[in-house]
């Protein structure tokens, strides 16, 4: 059964560096059929349609369908995986060529990082390996329970994870972890109060 994968900001450079890798099986495996849903804003639909044509022209055997959209409700419907990679558009007075020249290395590295990390999350990491992942805290390492925080985790092929417990933490790291936890709690509280207004 095909996996329905949504990529936001799909007409942008980060997504452009990512889409081919997803469609050819680098992320979800060489035997996993893919339906790509490409989401971007309405003014980018012409560019997005060009991306659809490029992907279709590649005749990738795993790519069963490419669906362009500027409607979030339609795009997110029934997706299995969503990759949220939309970026801020260029600022007033900045020419597109300047923006692209400055960011091309960043776009490529972000696209590759997404490929690598999603692959680990999807298939799991090799035995004895771990990755850092922002997940809800279970109280490990003294981090407030329920707070989304970066932990060393082992991902499994069934798309679950477990926090690796009891790694040694030196005083310097403990101090930085506590500072980060306080910042995250403050941000969470500000966001929650903004939602209540």
Q: What is the pLDDT of residues 37-68, one digit of tens each?
A: 999 989 999 999 999 999 999 999 999 999 99
169-196 pLDDT, tens digit each: 999 999 999 999 999 999 888 888 887 7
Which of 40, 32, 31, 55 is closest to 10 using CA atoms? 40
> Do the beta carbons of residue 163 and residue 152 sit within 8 Å?
yes
Number of alpha carbons in the 13 Å side-chain half-sphere of residue 42: 1
Both tokens of 22, joined, read 């997803």
- Whole-model pTM: value is 0.61
Distances 191 to 111, 123, 148, 186, 197 between C-alpha atoms, Å: 29, 33, 14, 9, 10
pLDDT at 149 exceeding the cut of 90: yes
Cα 52 off chain centre by: 20
| Least confident stretch, 7-16, 51-60, 115-124, 152-161 | 115-124
Both tokens of 20, joined, read 């081919």
DSSP secondary structure of 96-162: HHHHHHHHHHHHHHHHHHHHHHHHHHHH-PPTT--EEEEEE--SGGGPPTT-EEEEEEEE-TTS-EE
If you count DSSP H runs as helices and E runs as strands, how many of each does the chain have, helices first?
5, 7
For tokens 């329905």, name the residue. Answer: 4
Number of alpha carbons in the 13 Å side-chain half-sphere of residue 144: 12
């Amino acid at each position: 059964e095909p996996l329905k994968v949504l990529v936001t900001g799909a007409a942008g450079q980060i997504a452009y560096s990512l889409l081919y890798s997803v469609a050819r099986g680098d992320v979800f495996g060489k035997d996993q059929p893919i339906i790509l849903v490409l989401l971007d804003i309405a003014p980018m639909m012409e560019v997005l349609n060009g991306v659809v044509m490029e992907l279709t022209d590649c005749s990738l055997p795993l790519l069963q369908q490419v669906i362009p959209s500027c409607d979030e409700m339609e795009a997110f419907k029934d997706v299995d995986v969503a990759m949220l990679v939309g970026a801020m558009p260029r600022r007033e007075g900045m020419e597109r060529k300047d923006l692209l020249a400055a960011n091309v290395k960043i776009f490529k590295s972000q696209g590759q990082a997404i490929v690598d990390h999603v692959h680990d999350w999807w298939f799991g990491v090799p035995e004895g390996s771990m990755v850092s992942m922002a997940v809800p805290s279970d109280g490990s390492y003294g981090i407030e329970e329920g707070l989304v925080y970066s932990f060393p985790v082992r991902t499994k092929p069934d798309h679950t994870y477990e926090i690796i417990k009891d790694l040694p933490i030196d005083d310097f790291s403990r101090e930085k972890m506590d500072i980060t936890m306080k910042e995250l709690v403050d941000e969470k509280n500000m966001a929650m109060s903004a939602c209540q207004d």
